[in-house]
Structure 1
């Protein structure tokens, strides 16, 4: 048949099979099955391959024909969209096919979500017990049809063998925070599509926040009349178009039904999160009687932890029951999350009414009161056949959660102690440690890394997440039902930023959740990433290349020249560079070690996979008289020695938005060993960012001002050492966007290098100064 090639032996195929199954072999051969997540069992034939070409027929047999037909149709469309290979759906069950899907409830497959792919002379057969298994088989088949180095529209050879596969964990999740920043229905559907292609099956949808209530509840219309909108403070005004236009957005019940249906077709379970009793300021803004003080707050414009908690009384509990009744009508999921995290108890502790209620209930403290409140809410869900889900905060505080509650453990420090406590109290646990699986955290210290909170959560840190708490027995380990990444959106205002944050770290999450523990292999994962990144690119995903991007280390060499050293975060791929102004390609010189260039040169460097795929776009380093006399804030340590946040600045008239490294509440940076021989002048570029950092206020460092508007000061040796320069801010205090300050140095510096401290005076809560760049000149 034209579209179904005969068995053949390709050179080097046996070596490639061994690489695919993790056996070490010399040489750079690429495995024919570059699959992610790594399947449970790979059984290569060792020889032979079947060709799938344009017009190849895809057929469906067995049970659940209508559902499986839809799966096959989406596979055909996906292959056409990404690979340009146009397959053909069979019009009759008797048609001879190159690819066949067969669902048989009695099939010898390990799991309802499992499948088997058999590739031999007769074609490709995907066998499953259920349509869900057939869907995951279709994802793997799509990957087989987009192998490393595929050429769009050309036939694909699929190597012979058998793949038996099923998931390790039942809960493979991404949390999407729509409370801080709103995503459109179309964007959420796109994210669900992409999740499903990474074999994730849970979208935990965070729908209520201090900064916005996003779910329509007809019985309480003020939730979406008042609670969904906040003032456009700071960069929100760039999203609305004006500081006078509020930032709004919510999902109608029709929207939710549409998204739930769409997700179900892709075997993704939407688990709603209605966070309480904290993260509720928007609800209290809509209905002040829900709060403790009786006052109406605004919908919060800050980030962080708000002190506005729901009042723990019967009227509030009736409100919560009413909301959850609507939630249960909209979401068929077995699970409903009721949050429970970051409940600041200061209003409860200050309220005589709440304290009296606590005593009447025989409770010793506010943490126990939260436990009582949570039990009331959980009981309502359990009564209706649902399983409550919540965060581990109460366990951190020493209190208990309802026995049936699934615990999402985000306090990953101290060897996952909190998760182990939850397990030993009898809870099922989802591992979501903030240190490695909070995808809002930035991914590198690159100058062009996007904004996000610290510390960095790299691709390797995500991949090496401990999914079983240290010290758990084999029996206790079975209480871990899955893993979850968090996409918290305080500093993620756009869907482009969401994509940058999620991809490619979602590949690491996918393998954590799906693949058996014995398949965990960082080096093997890296070798499978080029094909996966090529798929992302074909899908139109704007992923981050931070893990592979070239990093420049420049030092002085003899006679005014520069020594250039190149590296990247993972150590994977070949860095290629140019010095003639052109962008590198796969023919450009490869980096073999440090090299020396004269001044007034420009180096462009990019990273390539063994097959020539560009892993990271070109980065640039200019070498001139300012190179060693300039520093961006992203390479300067903070004075507190704490990792900096990366904060986004205002959109300039041209170019991309700046991103600054800032210790929030402490506008102070260090420049160790600054080369100051003969310098006489300094220039600083900086920007004042609106303060909206909530509970960070308590740690703000206020420095004495010598003028009304304050200054930037540069000191030698220490932050209280000799003053090197003072740059007044009078002319810049009301400026929008970046400003430039210039000054002569206050005193001769002398020869050699000195440690420097640079800081902004005044109160950062009046506007957080961010340093862009500091440059000395002679």
Structure 2
């Protein structure tokens, strides 16, 4: 067929204008306030383009990628509005035009220009055009059955802040079908994410076919059963397994590439390898036998670094990975590799001796041995024209010459790597681990690994550490969020965990920092984006539509002040007796004061459905809403709302990161509460949250002292507690000290933190964290 000329394309557009009629259908209006927020939006004083059925999308003749872009745009508009657009080659002067040739610093930049004659998306590359299409798609939003969409005249100039914009999916613990992986990629595309990090191997399952080592999938892809809950010791008795063939992996690569997304494969080594060892036990230090791990966590069974077969195995596997995945980057993990087997393995110790490795004050000789393994992998990848990414543990023992570091244990690893002039992808767990809970009320959430990462915290993340100089900051090349799937067996649950937090992620990845000053504005833009989620049938979390409740002690009145707000100013109804609110309940107006124990529940009411109901249990004691002074500092990362957390009438659950707890580290908790007048008390209750695996321990002792002048204190009660044993439960511990009734104004409570973690613990000798949620005086 003869290609359309410029005149043909214009003729089609004109014909479409004649044929289309929107007299019988409503006209919607586009809104360019999208996620991620574009760099520059300049509205024209007047004019608009009417997008309606029959209009033509013209694209660069002979360019298959641009043709695909045009088809994507037509499909998006049809799906969201019902408006049917045509696609044709050419360089039209009317209608919708996609073209290359824009000059910009980034190949992913674009310009979207709308006037009364045409809509033009131009960019330096096909990828840039694709992102312009995504902005147009999100501007049109969802208007099913609209006869037309009015596009107000505008010029949008946009460019991404970071060239690497990633999202990881772990398929080692739980895997997903080909269609589900493609859906995940579609989700990334909507959010301007251009790297799909595919975590393909784990202790619990090997998920990619390696032809030279067929047992990896014959044996390593199948576990006999799976632990129930958080390593409860009980198992479900159901075999679990599966893997992706090389052909399927190539299909995913191609599908992602059409959406300008690069697949970054990860083979995690030398740790997280128990599934591989189950298949090839000779690669382990003990020779096995091993099983594909049935529980979660970090297995001590890792690849034997002293075995020549191990290095050859790594190279063979990476050779096939390189053949399947054309990405510049290959991820080799390098994280969470216990060294206990290496410490007693004759082959590993012989390797250490042969290499002349010595331990020092920075690293053990076994940590330097891991660096040798990582260097061997990096050397092989470099020789084959690829670059290596590893988690920040690859810094231990010296960084491989061309390695890029993914900083997940906070930002320290990224800062160190940038100072060594290595590229860094920021992915700190405290901001970007989407397997963490996103609500304080964890009882009504699906089981998660722990943590607390609400939307606002994701949005608050600034990836450029101020500790780095401007020159060093240039090595921060990307941002990524991660989804680990120990507790995520289905794609519906995966979607719930990442949406809409992915919207906050993509704005950090794409938008200029100065465009991220208005969180409330971001929420309104995200609310519009969720209409596309709904249309696509994606299962997203709705927390942003809940009532935002803030309860603060008022030390002047001795009461609790409550404020409530919603994303869209929807009316809010509440109860104080724990019953579910309805529209017949009290309506929240302009603040609320609480002066007695109650259960506060709040709900936003909307025509399309009510929000979930919040629940805050409030207790009152003689210390509630009283002035409190800390004599020793609160640990900054866990300071939250500070000292008033201890007198706000609310207690926390086992998730110590929700803001209901505050922490003390390397010093004790020492607080003075001012009861404001002489008050009789005879007991003090204090609760601690213990998670020993997180270095969070019970108090070693509590003292209660009283004073009339806040200068001279008298001890009225004291208890000491032994160091915790390995068998002591992770739980909330309640400590109540009773004493003879005493009338006093000032009460000093001291709780000793663990200064020396016991020898049975991996953190032995270090200080532990002390988490406290409330001081109750009665």
Alpha-carbon distance in 1 for matches of 2:735, 2:373: 55
- Aligned-partner Cα distance in 1 for 2:346–2:76: 61
Which residue number in structure 2 is paired with residue 702 of structure 1?
Answer: 727
CA distance 1:31–1:474, change in 2 (3 Å): farther
Contact 1:4 1:52 in 2 (8 A): no
SS at match of 1:510: helix
Number of the residue aligned with 1:342:
336
SS state of the match for residue 265, structure 2? Answer: strand
Partner of 1:490: 486
Decide whether the 8 Å contact of 1:576 with 1:588 is kept in 2.
Answer: no
Q: Separation in 1 of the partners of 2:663 and 2:226?
A: 27
Residue 435 of structure 2, aligned match among 440, 444, 457: 440
Q: How many Å separate the matches in 1 of 2:251 and 2:433?
A: 28
Indicate the residue corresponding to 2:154 in structure 1.
161
The alpha-carbon distance between structure 1 residues 518 and 2, as it changes in their structure 2 partners (threshold 3 A), is: farther
2:321 alignment partner, SS class: helix
Determine if contact 1:578/1:588 at 8 Å carries over to the other structure.
yes
Aligned residue among 82, 86, 92 for 1:85:
82
Report the counterpart of residue 681 of structure 1 in structure 2.
Answer: none
**RMSD, aligned α-carbons:** 4.3
User: Retained in 1: the 8 A contact 2:580–2:601?
Assistant: no
Is the aligned partner of 1:358 residue 2:352?
Answer: yes
2:32 paired with 1:33? yes
Matched, 1:323 2:317: yes
Partner of 2:245: 252
Q: Give the superposition deviation at 1:528.
A: 1.8
Secondary structure at 2:303's aligned position in 1? coil
Equivalent of residue 605 in structure 1, options 598, 603, 607: 603
Partner of 2:761: none
The whole-number CA distance in structure 1 between the counterparts of 2:661 and 2:154 is: 57
Identify if the C-alpha distance between structure 1 residues 563 and 516 changes in structure 2 by more than 3 Å, giving closer, same or farther: closer
> For residues 295-351 of structure 1, what are the alpha-carbon distances to aligned partners after superposition, in whole Å with 9 as ceiling and x for unaligned?
222111222221111111321111111111110111011110111111111110122
In 2: Cα distance, 1:268 partner to 1:533 partner: 22
Query: 2:407: which partner in 1?
Result: 409
Given that residues 652 and 661 in structure 2 are in contact (C-alpha distance below 8 angstroms), is that contact kept between their aligned partners in structure 1? no
Q: Secondary structure at the match of 2:276?
A: helix
- Give 2:564's match in structure 1, choosing from 562, 567, 587: 567
Offset of 1:703 from its aligned partner? 5.0
Alignment of 1:201-600 (within 5 A): 201-235=194-228, 243-312=236-305, 313-364=307-358, 365-395=365-395, 397=396, 399-412=397-410, 416-447=411-442, 448-523=444-519, 524-550=521-547, 565=562, 567=564, 572-578=567-573, 591-594=589-592
Alignment CA distance shift 1:393-1:57 (3 Å): same
Distance 2:657 2:408 in 1: 27
Listed as ranges, the gaps of 5+ residues in structure 1 are 7-29, 556-561, 644-660, 671-697, 705-711, 723-754, 756-778
Which deviates more, 183-192 or 490-499?
Answer: 490-499
Q: For residues 540 and 588 of structure 1, what CA distance do their matches in structure 2 show?
A: 35
Q: 1:582 to 1:387 in 2, by over 3 A?
A: same
Give, in whole Å, the separation in 1 of the partners of 2:581 and 2:655.
25
Q: Relative to 1, partners in 2 of residues 1:460 and 1:76: Cα closer, same or farther, differing over 3 Å? A: same
1:575 to partner: Cα distance: 4.6
Per the alignment, residue 49 of structure 1 pairs with 48
Deviation at 1:222, TM superposition (A): 1.1
Q: How far has the Cα of 1:408 moved from its partner?
A: 0.6
Q: Distance in 1 between matches of 2:33 and 2:104?
A: 22
Distance in structure 2 (CA, Å) of the matches to 1:224 and 1:41: 50
Asked if the contact 1:348–1:355 (Cα under 8 Å) also holds between the matched residues in 2, the reply is yes
Deviations 1:668-699 (A, max 9, x none): 999xxxxxxxxxxxxxxxxxxxxxxxxxxx98
Q: Is the 8 A contact 2:451 2:656 kept in 1?
A: no
Query: How many angstroms apart in 1 are the aligned matches of 2:32 and 2:657?
Result: 44
The 8 Å contact of residues 564 and 591 in structure 2, kept in 1 or not, is answered as no
Aligned length: 625
- Structure 2: distance between partners of 1:588 and 1:154: 42
Query: Structure 2: how far apart are the matches of 1:299 and 1:623?
Result: 44
Contact 2:71/2:87, CA 8 A, preserved across alignment: no
* Partner Cα distance (1:200, 1:478) in 2: 20
1:114 aligns with 2:103: no
> Cα distance 1:635–1:455, how it changes in 2: closer, same or farther (>3 A)?
closer
Report the CA distance shift for 1:5/1:117 in structure 2 as closer, same or farther (over 3 A).
farther
CA contact (8 A) 1:64 1:131 kept: no
2: CA distance, partners of 1:475 / 1:528: 34
Structure 2: runs of 5+ lacking an equivalent: 1-16, 23-28, 359-364, 553-558, 620-648, 665-688, 700-722, 740-748, 750-778
Distance 2:265 2:104 in 1: 31
The structural deviation recorded for 1:394 is: 3.5
Per-residue CA deviation, residues 256-281 of structure 1 (Å, 9 max, x unaligned), is 01111111111110010011111111
Q: 2:453, 2:598 → 1: CA distance?
A: 35
SS at match of 1:121: coil
TM-score scaled by structure 1? 0.71
Structure 1 residues 713 and 578 mapped into 2: Cα distance closer, same or farther (>3 Å)? closer
**Correspondences of 1:743-762 after superposition (within 5 Å):** none
Q: Note the C-alpha offset of 1:110.
A: 4.2
Bigger mean CA offset, 633-642 vs 264-273: 633-642
Q: Distance in 1 between matches of 2:88 and 2:426?
A: 45
Which residue is equivalent to 2:720? none
Deviations 1:162-202 (A, max 9, x none): 11112111100001111111111111100001101100000
Measured after TM superposition, the shift of residue 152 of structure 1 is 4.7
8 A contact 1:576–1:584 mirrored in 2: no
| Farther off after superposition, 503-512 or 598-607 | 598-607
Mapped partners of 1:168, 1:623: distance in 2: 43
SS at match of 1:33: coil
1:70 counterpart residue number: 68
* Residues 1:566 and 1:183: Cα distance change in structure 2 (over 3 Å): farther
Q: In the aligned structure 1, how far is the partner of 2:661 from the partner of 2:155?
A: 56
**Partner Cα separation in structure 1 for residue 732 and residue 467 of structure 2:** 50
Secondary structure of the equivalent of 2:438? Answer: coil
Please name the residue that 1:746 is paired with: none
Aligned-partner SS, 1:338: strand
Structure 1 residue 212 displacement after superposition: 0.8
CA shift for structure 1 position 453: 3.1
**After superposition, what is the alpha-carbon deviation per residue over 1:372-403, rounded to whole angstroms, capped at 9, x for unaligned?**
111111111111100011111132x4x21111
2-side partners of 1:429 and 1:622: how far apart?
41
1:174 aligns with 2:167: yes
TM-score, normalisation: structure 2: 0.71
The structure-2 alpha-carbon separation of the partners of 1:460 and 1:352, relative to structure 1 and needing over 3 Å to count, comes to same
> CA, structure 1 residues 715+37, in 2 after alignment: closer, same or farther (shift >3 Å)?
closer
SS state at 2:152 partner: strand
What CA distance in whole angstroms lies between the structure 2 residues aligned with 1:713 and 1:125? 60
Output the CA distance in 2 between the equivalents of 1:421 and 1:389.
15
- Aligned partners of 1:178 and 1:633: how far apart in 2? 30
Note the alpha carbon deviations across 1:519-564, whole angstroms, 9 max, x for none. Answer: 2223332332221222222222211122442267899xxxxxx999
Match of 2:361 in 1: none
Q: What is the distance in 1 between the residues matched to 2:550 and 2:89?
A: 63
Asked which structure has the greater RCO (Cα within 8 Å, sep 6+), the reply is 1
Q: State the alpha-carbon separation in 2 of the partners of residues 637 and 36 from structure 1.
A: 28
- CA gap of 1:468–1:637, structure 2 versus 1, over 3 A, is closer
1:362 Cα deviation from its structure 2 partner: 0.6
1:423, 1:118 → 2: CA distance? 38
